[in-house]
Chains A and B, each alone.
Chain A
Amino acid sequence: MDNFFLLLGMALFTLVLLCLYRGVFGPGVLNRMAGICAIGTKTLVILLLMGFIYNRVEMFIDISMVYAFLNFVGTITAAKYLEIKGEA
């Protein structure tokens, strides 16, 4: 089962790299934000999988939850900033 989680984590890591293309080259700020937001959700699952691989789920789950909270707050903040300022 550990190998299954490892393969899953590697697959998600590849997807994160693909999303990073949109985060780096995506035309405009908004496309970059969409890419970063997609990376955040994948990272959350990768953190949990790391917890299962290292047998320390009760530790990694807290980090994962904080990541989810701060991702949400950050996205709302950036959206409000862009809404007021207009697209740069």
Chain B
Amino acid sequence: MSVQHMISIPFILGGLFFFIAATVGLLRFPDFFCRLHATGKGDTMAVLLSLVGLSIYEGFSLTSLKIIFIAVFMFLAQPTSTHAISRAALRCGLQPWTREKG
């Protein structure tokens, strides 16, 4: 196992941690906006970390360049799609959850 692989493992495990955190948030949070809050940020960070780790594992080549391109694309696209869904929900008249209402 080379140094390159040793560096890539913490990145990928960090990505897995954020994936788990996002999924727990998606399952456990009380309402739609809270769930989107968890997946929107958690999944973006997780994809970013996992793809950077995989590109380090791959080494310098066209493939790793494409992996970095996917990471940049997801970094732009994931928050935008989250924004679009939450905006649609707000336009539909979904009320955000508050503690008082229960």
Contact = CB atoms under 8 A, between A and B. Distances in A.
A and B touch in the complex (CB under 8 A): yes
Contact of B92 (A48, A72, A78, A86): A86
A72 B16 CA distance: 22
Contacts of B46: 41, 45
Contacts of A48: 50-51, 54, 67
A82 B39 contact: no
A37 to B, nearest CB: 6
Interface in A8-67: 8, 11-12, 15, 18-19, 21-22, 28, 30-31, 33-35, 37-38, 41-42, 44-45, 48-49, 52, 57-58, 61-62, 64-65
B84 to A, nearest CB: 4
B7 interface: no
Dominant SS among interface residues on chain B: helix
A62 to B, nearest CB: 8
Size category of the binding interface on chain B: 35 or more
A11 B16 contact: yes
Interface string B5-25: 100010010011001101100
Given A15-B20, A45-B15, A83-B91, A1 B66 contact: no
A34 to B, nearest CB: 5
Interface of A: 1, 4, 8, 11-12, 15, 18-19, 21-22, 28, 30-31, 33-35, 37-38, 41-42, 44-45, 48-49, 52, 57-58, 61-62, 64-65, 68-69, 71-72, 75-76, 78-80, 82-83, 86-87
